[in-house]
Amino acid sequence: MSPTVEGRPGRSGRHGRRPKAPVALAIAGALTAAAAVGLALAGPSATAAAVRSPHASAAWTGQFTGYGSSNWKSAWGWTSTGSFGEGDVKEVTDPSAPGDHSALEVTYGAGSSAPSCTDCPNPGGAQFYTRLASLGGGSALASSATLDLRYAVRFPTHHDFGKAGKLPGLYGGQIGEESGGNHGDGWSTRYMWRGANGVPNNGEVYLYTPTDSGPTGYGVDLGVGDWTWPADGKWHTVEQLVNRTTGDVTVWFDARQVASFTGAASGIGSIPFSGVLFSTFYGGHDTTWGPKATSHTYFSDFSLSRSVQH
């Protein structure tokens, strides 16, 4: 199957928003290091407890040690379906990163956007899906009424945000039906950074559901500007709780609630959680969305839980 890609003009959010909150808090220190591929499912193991002691509720943790290896792919439930950009990512070690100090560096070429771009001078960004069904005990998470995704992200100082871009979130249903204008029994709750009102790094939830994907079919912007993504070279945590029964989506940034969208994802109750949609690129679908020069973003310490983790 070809990668799921998308691009369309910017829009304002359509659902209720919380007042904008400052979010410049950094993670207070790195956690205890552990040499683990990064899997703890159906109850944290001793290794997971050492790596993520403040987040004991995590049912699964994903680190980037051994990224790309067969062990890593198995630990994440990785699938090649819908993936792209493997040449623009690499494992790095960062002593300040949470978890086991491993991180994934993603490179975005100058002027890059979605893979669908026909006038971009360089490629950039990456995407892969994980499948809960591939993990032992993952069916309990897939069928849960709620699922919470938490991870850390770092934007270098003076990062060029361009016009807008995507960041990882949860998804449900079949790959290829959850985003990109390809509709079926699928949904997704990725994040975006988006320039609006003179601010280049506004945060938002970028929502697709079978019943609501916006007037163009390319997603709904929820809460543009309810928080910002700091380009300060520090690690920050972002967390989303999706309730399939009520359709509620709640977001925390550095453990502070910054957005709550009541019933925004209604209509997904019958579609189980499928896993993590690791998706990050500029765009949009043409070169005007991309950075002026090659840029990088860093990701670390993913985890899933049926309840809030912070």
What are the structural domain ranges in the chain?
Answer: 46-305
Residue 11: per-residue pLDDT:
40
* Pairing state between β 249-253 and 89-93: unpaired
Residue-wise DSSP of 76-104: HTEEEEEEE-GGGEEEEE-TTSSTTSEEE
Please tell me what DSSP assigns to residue 68: T
Residue 216: per-residue pLDDT:
65
Query: C-alpha angle 211/171/52, rounded to 5°?
Result: 145
Residue 55: per-residue pLDDT:
59
Residue 215: per-residue pLDDT:
62
Residues 171 and 147 sit within 8 Å (Cβ to Cβ): no
Tokens of 242: 């999706």
Helix (H, G, I), strand (E, B) or coil at 47: helix
Residue 5: per-residue pLDDT:
40
Residues 178 and 187 sit within 8 Å (Cβ to Cβ): yes
CATH code at 46-305: 2.60.120.200
Question: How far, in whole angstroms, is CA 109 from its chain's centroid?
Answer: 20
Residue spans of the chain under pLDDT 70 = 1-56, 181-183, 214-217
Residue 245: per-residue pLDDT:
97
Residue 184: per-residue pLDDT:
77
Amino acid present at 109? G
